[in-house]
Amino acid sequence: MTHQKPASFIRSSGVLMHISSLPGDYGIGTFGKKAMDFVDFLSTAGCTYWQTLPFGPIDSYNSPYQSFSAFAGNPFFIDPELLQTQGLITREELENARYNGSPWSSAFEWLRETRIPLFRKAYARCTPEIKTAMSEFCDQQAHWLPDYALYLAIQSSEEGRDWIDWENKDLKNRQPAAIKKAQEHYTEEIQFQIFLQYQFHSQWMTIKEYANKKGIQIIGDIPIYVALQSADVWKHQSCFDLDENGHPNHVAGVPPDYFCTDGQLWGNPLYNWEAMAKNHYQWWMRRLEHALWLFDTVRIDHFRAFSAYWSVPGDAETARNGEWLPGPSMKFFDEVFKQFDFSKPRIIAEDLGVVDDGVRTLLEDTGFPGMRVMQFAFIEDGDNIHYPHNYASNTVAYTGTHDNDTLLGYLWELAPGQRDYAFDYINYPCLDEAWQQGGSDSPSCHAFIRCLWQSPAKVAIVPIQDLCGYGGDTKMNRPGRAEGNWTFRTTEESLQSIDTDWLRELNRIYKR
């Protein structure tokens, strides 16, 4: 089937920073004034894009890539100040919501203890007008929100157990009579969860509308897989490769790579693509529709799985003993092009890792831009696709991603010969130890960013850590390690120290 090629990006630039990393007083970045301030910063610097990580509720390790919903938002992003302006919490309660610990990391454990009780107080004070707006929002999101809210209510009553381990087998298997009874029994808790999602989405759409009016577009992120312990798998069990008890026959991961010698065993259930094709991939189409409402463009993580995916036995301890199986390829994207308008850029394909002819053909057939990461250029021998001189124009290029070290940390980890060559490549005169200097005026970080901005890639993205010249201790994620990730935050003082004149001039010189 032929389709019109999607519109390509204009030559532009942006910054990668997750909502959780925004500065603020409440233990984590929120959809409040600091988010609008960051939009103002991007606009002043002449950038076009703000890229975030996935918005879903986080798992016990705080990962946004293992969410228990493909549609719901992380309630920790709800801004307490906006609740106070609605009259839902008192001034004293707002003051008590301030976090007195380190501003450099998200206080996830403290948030789990304090934020939900605060939200329950806010919900108890809902006005009739808010309840009407909640009901209208629930009707608009009827394909996921009622089941998601019910799922959390049941899970709470089941002492947090995953749905496959629920004692009530009728609820586990979604028997209609049991579902109806649970809906009636957990009415109040269901309404509370709807309240959280209404607040999340309302607050975010205010930020997005503000950004769009300022000329800033939002790039969101869709994880390719969802967690087994999610409302999506519970509701749509036939769409996943599960046995009769709900356990995955095979799970997702990637073979051994640069990040992990045993590969990465993600553990997500794989899709039953044959079953999904029967209703034209309806669940995925709704997922994309929701994402393209929240964001202007979405990056699909691990895009290569649509060509072929790494299938690992469900009881495996590492990802080494898997096999490549064919994905839905263009059959899936033919449906995407039927249902969505691509008169502006809508999808970025994360095509990192093992890339073969099948992935390259799929990218060419869809017309989506792929990704390049400058850090990868200098850790491999010979010429490779991650050197800026090799970038195709239909590319989104990064100094690094959330899975990479910061630029400064990366430079420290490079072998001396690799580092010397990298400096030669970016035309950085490394005559002394000045490259070790961190901070927003770091000369080595500036040289790398300038080199990326010079490249043919239509879009150049820099993580906020590299603009601030931070070291490796601010790395967002270490693939293959579950604990100690996703906590990085920056401060208002650090953002204000960034030379916006320098960045704006860089955008002017290199036509971004």
Alpha carbon 296 to chain centroid distance?
A: 14
Q: pLDDT digits over 380-409, tens only?
A: 888 999 999 999 999 999 999 999 999 999
Pairing of strands 323-326, 395-398: unpaired
Residue length, the chain? 512
Catalytic residue selected from 79, 296, 301, 334: 301
Q: For residue 22, give Cα distances in angstroms to 28, 104, 169.
A: 7, 10, 42
DSSP 375: G
Residue 289's CB is within 10 A of a number of other CB atoms, namely 13
Distance CA 233, CA 21 (A): 29
Least confident of 382-386, 405-409, 431-435, 505-509: 431-435
| Residue 431 scores a pLDDT above 70 | no
Phi and psi at residue 349, to the nearest 5°: -95, 115
Instruction: Assign 259 a pLDDT band (cuts: 50, 70, 90).
Output: low
pLDDT of residue 112: 96
Give the tens place of pLDDT for each residue, 201-222: 999 999 999 999 999 999 999 9
* Per-residue DSSP letter, 239: G
Residue 474 has pLDDT above 70, yes or no: yes
Do the Cβ atoms of 93 and 26 come closer than 8 Å?
no
Q: Are 164 and 248 in contact (CB under 8 A)?
A: no
Task: Of 384, 421, 415, 12, give the one whose Cα is nearest residue 219.
Answer: 12
Contact 281, 335 (CB under 8 A): yes
**What is the number of alpha carbons within 13 Å of residue 473 lying toward its C-beta?**
4
pLDDT of the residue at 87: 97
For every residue of 415-466, DSSP letters joined together read -HHHHHHHHHHTT---SSSGGG--STT-HHHHHHHHHHHHSS-SEEEEEHHH
Residues 52/218, Cβ–Cβ less than 8 Å: yes
Residue 28, pLDDT > 70, answer yes
Active site residue 301: yes
What whole-number distance in Å separates Cα of residue 421 and Cα of residue 201? 47
Which position among 81, 147, 334, 350 bears the catalytic label? 350
Mean pLDDT over each residue of the chain, to the nearest integer: 95
Please, is 292 exposed, middle or buried when counting C-beta atoms within 10 Å of its C-beta (0-12, 13-18, 19+)? middle
CATH topology of domain 12-509: TIM Barrel (3.20.20)
Work out the percent of the chain whose per-residue pLDDT is above 70: 99
Residue 230 CA to residue 283 CA, distance in Å, equals 14
| Residue 27 confidence class, pLDDT cut points 50, 70, 90 | very high
Q: Is the pLDDT of residue 69 over 80?
A: yes
Residues contacting residue 235 through CB under 8 Å, at least 6 positions apart: 147, 151, 174
Q: Check if the beta carbon of residue 22 is closer than 8 Å to that of residue 36.
A: no
Amino acid letter for position 446: H
Q: Is 22 exposed, middle or buried (0-12, 13-18, 19+ CB in 10 A)?
A: buried
pLDDT for the residue numbered 1 = 62
pLDDT for res 382: 87
Where residue 480 falls among pLDDT bands split at 50, 70, 90?
Answer: confident
> Which residue among the candidates 25, 40, 59, 403 is catalytic per the annotation?
403
Q: Which amino acid is at 297?
A: T
**Angle made by CA atoms 115, 118, 119, in degrees to the nearest 5:** 90
Token reading at 325: 């199986």
DSSP character for 304?
Answer: G
State the pLDDT at residue 24: 97
pLDDT value, residue 403: 94
Q: What is the predicted pLDDT for the residue at 160?
A: 86
pLDDT at 434: 84
391 vs 263 pLDDT, higher one: 391
| CA-based torsion, 78, 83, 84, 88: positive or negative | negative
pLDDT at 482 over 90: no
Two structure tokens written together for 386: 């991650």
Q: Which amino acid is at 378?
A: F
Q: What is the pLDDT of residue 456?
A: 98
Band of pLDDT at residue 146, cut at 50, 70 and 90: very high
- Collapsing DSSP to helix, strand or coil, 202 comes out as helix
Strand order across the beta sheet in which 395-398 lies? 347-349, 297-300, 217-222, 49-51, 12-16, 459-463, 395-398, 370-373
Q: Which pair of tokens denotes residue 361?
A: 């053909």
Instruction: Check residue 8 and report its DSSP letter.
Output: P
Question: Cα(55)–Cα(286) distance, rounded to whole angstroms?
Answer: 16
Is 403 catalytic? The answer is yes
Say how far apart CA 201 and CA 217 lie, in whole Å.
17
Q: What span, in angstroms and rounded, lies between the C-alpha atoms of 199 and 77?
A: 10
pLDDT at 264: 87
